[in-house]
Structure 1
Amino acid sequence: MASSADKLSLALVAGEPSGDMLAARLLSGLRPHLPEARFHGIGGPQMMAQGFESHWPMDQLTVRGLLPVLMRYRELKGIQNTLRDQLLAERPAAFIGADYPGFNLGLEEQLKAAGIPTIHYIGPQIWAWRGGRIKKIISAVSHMLVVFPFEEEIYRQAGVPVSYVGHPLAELIPLTPDEGAARRALGMPEDGNVVTIMPGSRMSELKYNTVAFVQAARLLKARDRTLRFVAPMAGERQRAYFLELVAQAGLQDVEIQLLDGQSHTAIAAADAVLVASGTASLEVALFKKPMVIAYKMMELEWQILRHFGYQPWIGMPNILAREFLVPELLQHAANPEALAEAMWKQLSDAPHRLRLAQRFTDMHHSLLRNSAVESAAAVLRVIERAK
């Protein structure tokens, strides 16, 4: 298809690291078919490594939570409107929104109305909350790309063209992770228990999760002096803020090995992981590790959002399993004592660990596709139909 589309322009927007990863995989699949195409919009370092041109730093869009978004609404709307006007003038072959639905669906709706094909990757979790959003999706999205098998039927029944393309993380993470190699890479002895702490990559997540997570580590250390703790940091800002929060809480005595990135190595090295809800919990499951999922947020935001969910689980491993495979502790329940107790059970129950490993292996197989090839093929079909 490359010969007929050498000069194509494709616009993409990713608003946070997970979307950057998804879009980068898609671009790696598209580039062999469209070697001369221009890929541009808003994206992060992984997309730019694929030859993507970002008109704004992706960090300008990276904000999570109802109140933080409201506080920055005017700025974000200004970026959206400016990009919309540029794309309406240019008329790219297609627009691809990589997750970030609050921003991308509104942009997609305006572009689709103007006759520009719109593709959304990945499907918003309308099965978890805000099911009414399907009306917006129908008017905004020409084709939906989904990463979980059960989502395909949901969108098909709603009349939204859809393709299941597999989850990129299932390809990036080995079916049989090498725990020993990960520990050697981190300079850790291969024996003894290791706990990985992942309070979140966003500043707001660090603000509300860090102290409780580190206090739980202190309680665990009191039970077993041989425990080692490791915490991957998403960047320098996150590392500095994490250390500031630990110091303010007087928790400097808790020995934690901080890493610059290397989250997958930290998970692979672990016996169990204390993880903030989000994509990271799926990563932990794909590494076949026991975990405790926890999440805290601003109290007002919690009071607003806690009534919106449609199902009893928030962690993706539990949602995929349709049961509480691993504990979830939210807001007030995510106190240090409860976190430490739940983590201790994950560390000490050997039969449970074996059962989890098998369930997570089955989950891994269900998500495994060549997502770069599958997603690129779906995009190329949309472009071809629009000619």
Structure 2
Amino acid sequence: MPTLACVAGEPSGDLLAASSLQALKQIPAQAGLEMYGIGGPFMQAQGLQSLWPMEVLSVRGYVEALRQLPTILRVRKALITDLLGAKRPDVFLGIDAPDFNLGVEEKLRSAGIPTVHFISPSIWAWRGSRIKKIQRAVDHMLCIFPFEKAIYEAAGIQATYVGHPLASSIPLEPNVSEARARLLELDPSLQNLTTAKVVAVLPGSRHSEIQLIAPIFFATMPVLAEQLEEAVPIFVIPVAAPHLRPALEQLRLEVLTRHPQLQIHLFDGQADLILEAADVVLIASGTATLQAALWKKPMVISYRVPWLTAQVMKRQAYLPYVGLPNILCGEFVVPELLQSQAQPQKLAKALLNWLLNPDQVAALRQRFSVLHHELRQPTALLVAQVLAEKLSQR
């Protein structure tokens, strides 16, 4: 019976891996495949035996990671012992979580176990020295961006471009009117939704982001509303996780106390729906910027981190941009206002520029449409085919 060990450290990785495991099981030669490792409910629904709860690895931020580090190291040591002993797999699949998985993969590969890594670390953006560890750890890298394949092949690492999973989950053409109708069903208090400008505001999914950038985003709202000469815009905010809602609700109430004419609405989740319904997006740098690009939305990217963190990141970075839309397009197609530039007046001006220039928006949508087609691949099937080939070789 073939055996596959997998490790995912985040809910997003759990979801990505589950679709690939489902596709793998449909390949006739993999009937009876035994799967174990660390995964969440989606991977477990596909038959994975999770030896530890995935939540052990799901930590965000330096402080949280340091607190959890002893536990994470114990789990990794125990996992390696199992995979080199009684539960030795035919192939190992690491899903993202490079700080954890590369260490596991290096040990397994040195013991002759083929290792596949799904989602390349962003060595093209920062910490490029990791390529040396990847050379020692990974037999086959599965890349989600087209340009990554050449980087790994130049380093002597097998690589396959499998596309970005988001590109397949988001339709090629957004339906704005339908999205707004669905928003109205969720919140009947929305007024003038069919005629007003809708501004999606995505301040991030971490406590640190809510603390550092969300207050600036909320302060931008009345400034933009004042600059718009037409009807007051509607601001819609997807709350990425329940524990973030109290802080966002407090910021909302503070703004409405001073500017009661504003419409500011919070939704639990619904990021895709809100992006589809939006005219323009104010967004914290991260994966969500690619999500906004695939919905073909003009956006303003912003971010703030503590000064020392910014200096470290600046010294490790190689590109002039941080937003994925700009990185993938190879130029500043959308503005980035970071650190000291992240000011309400400047953010509002950049948002207003999109709202007042429909020709620029149309050109951007066309650019994002080309990008969407490039990233849209049968990702789960391509991942499954690589895994099936590795398993058949065993």
Question: Do they superpose with TM above 0.5?
Answer: yes
**CA distances 1:305-334 after superposition (whole Å, capped 9, x unpaired):** 122111101111101111000011212221
Distance of 2:239 and 2:376 partners within structure 1: 27
- Verify: 1:223 aligned to 2:217, yes or no: no
Distance of 1:51 and 1:234 partners within structure 2: 28
**CA distances 1:137-170 after superposition (whole Å, capped 9, x unpaired):** 0000011000111111110010001111111111
Q: Residues 71 and 266 (structure 1 numbering): CA distance in 2 closer, same or farther, change over 3 Å? A: same
Gaps of 5+ in 2: 185-189
Distance of 2:266 and 2:49 partners within structure 1: 32
Distance of 2:376 and 2:77 partners within structure 1: 37
Gaps of 5+ in 1: 1-6
Query: How many residues in Structure 1 have an aligned counterpart in Structure 2?
Result: 378
Query: What corresponds to 2:368 in structure 1?
Result: 360
Q: Residues 274 and 166 (structure 1 numbering): CA distance in 2 closer, same or farther, change over 3 Å? A: same
Q: Normalization by structure 2: what TM-score?
A: 0.90
Q: How does 1:253-332 map to 2 (within 5 A)?
A: 253=257, 255-332=263-340
- Verify: 1:237 aligned to 2:243, yes or no: yes
Q: Residues 300 and 71 (structure 1 numbering): CA distance in 2 closer, same or farther, change over 3 Å? A: farther
Q: Residues 208 and 15 (structure 1 numbering): CA distance in 2 closer, same or farther, change over 3 Å? A: farther
Query: What corresponds to 1:22 in structure 2?
Result: 16
Q: How does 1:166-185 map to 2 (within 5 A)?
A: 166-185=163-182
Q: Which amino acid aligns with 2:74?
A: G
Distance of 2:281 and 2:11 partners within structure 1: 21
Q: Normalization by structure 1: what TM-score?
A: 0.91
**CA distances 1:327-347 after superposition (whole Å, capped 9, x unpaired):** 112122212222222112122
Query: What corresponds to 1:108 in structure 2?
Result: 105
Q: Which amino acid aligns with 1:62?
A: S
Q: How does 1:120-131 map to 2 (within 5 A)?
A: 120-131=117-128
Larger Rg: 2
- Verify: 1:158 aligned to 2:166, yes or no: no
Is the 8 Å Cα contact of residues 106 and 136 (structure 2) preserved in structure 1?
Answer: yes
- Give 3-state SS (helix, strand or coil) of 1:144's partner: strand
Is the 8 Å Cα contact of residues 19 and 99 (structure 1) preserved in structure 2?
Answer: yes
Query: What corresponds to 1:201 in structure 2?
Result: 205
Q: Residues 245 and 83 (structure 1 numbering): CA distance in 2 closer, same or farther, change over 3 Å? A: farther
**CA distances 1:221-240 after superposition (whole Å, capped 9, x unpaired):** 23345211111122211223
Query: What corresponds to 2:77 in structure 1?
Result: 81
Distance of 1:244 and 1:226 partners within structure 2: 21
Q: Which amino acid aligns with 1:332?
A: S
- Give 3-state SS (helix, strand or coil) of 1:230's partner: strand
- Give 3-state SS (helix, strand or coil) of 1:251's partner: helix
Q: How does 1:140-155 map to 2 (within 5 A)?
A: 140-155=137-152
Question: What is the Cα deviation at residue 66 of structure 1?
Answer: 4.3
Q: Residues 198 and 366 (structure 1 numbering): CA distance in 2 closer, same or farther, change over 3 Å? A: same
Q: Residues 14 and 255 (structure 1 numbering): CA distance in 2 closer, same or farther, change over 3 Å? A: farther
Query: What corresponds to 1:3 in structure 2?
Result: none
Is the 8 Å Cα contact of residues 152 and 159 (structure 2) preserved in structure 1?
Answer: yes
Question: What is the Cα deviation at residue 298 of structure 1?
Answer: 2.5
Q: Residues 367 and 135 (structure 1 numbering): CA distance in 2 closer, same or farther, change over 3 Å? A: same
Question: What is the Cα deviation at residue 207 of structure 1?
Answer: 2.5
Is the 8 Å Cα contact of residues 143 and 159 (structure 2) preserved in structure 1?
Answer: yes
CA RMSD of aligned residues (A): 2.0
Q: Residues 19 and 195 (structure 1 numbering): CA distance in 2 closer, same or farther, change over 3 Å? A: same
Distance of 1:168 and 1:181 partners within structure 2: 23
Between the aligned residues of both structures, percent identity stands at: 44
Q: Residues 244 and 85 (structure 1 numbering): CA distance in 2 closer, same or farther, change over 3 Å? A: farther
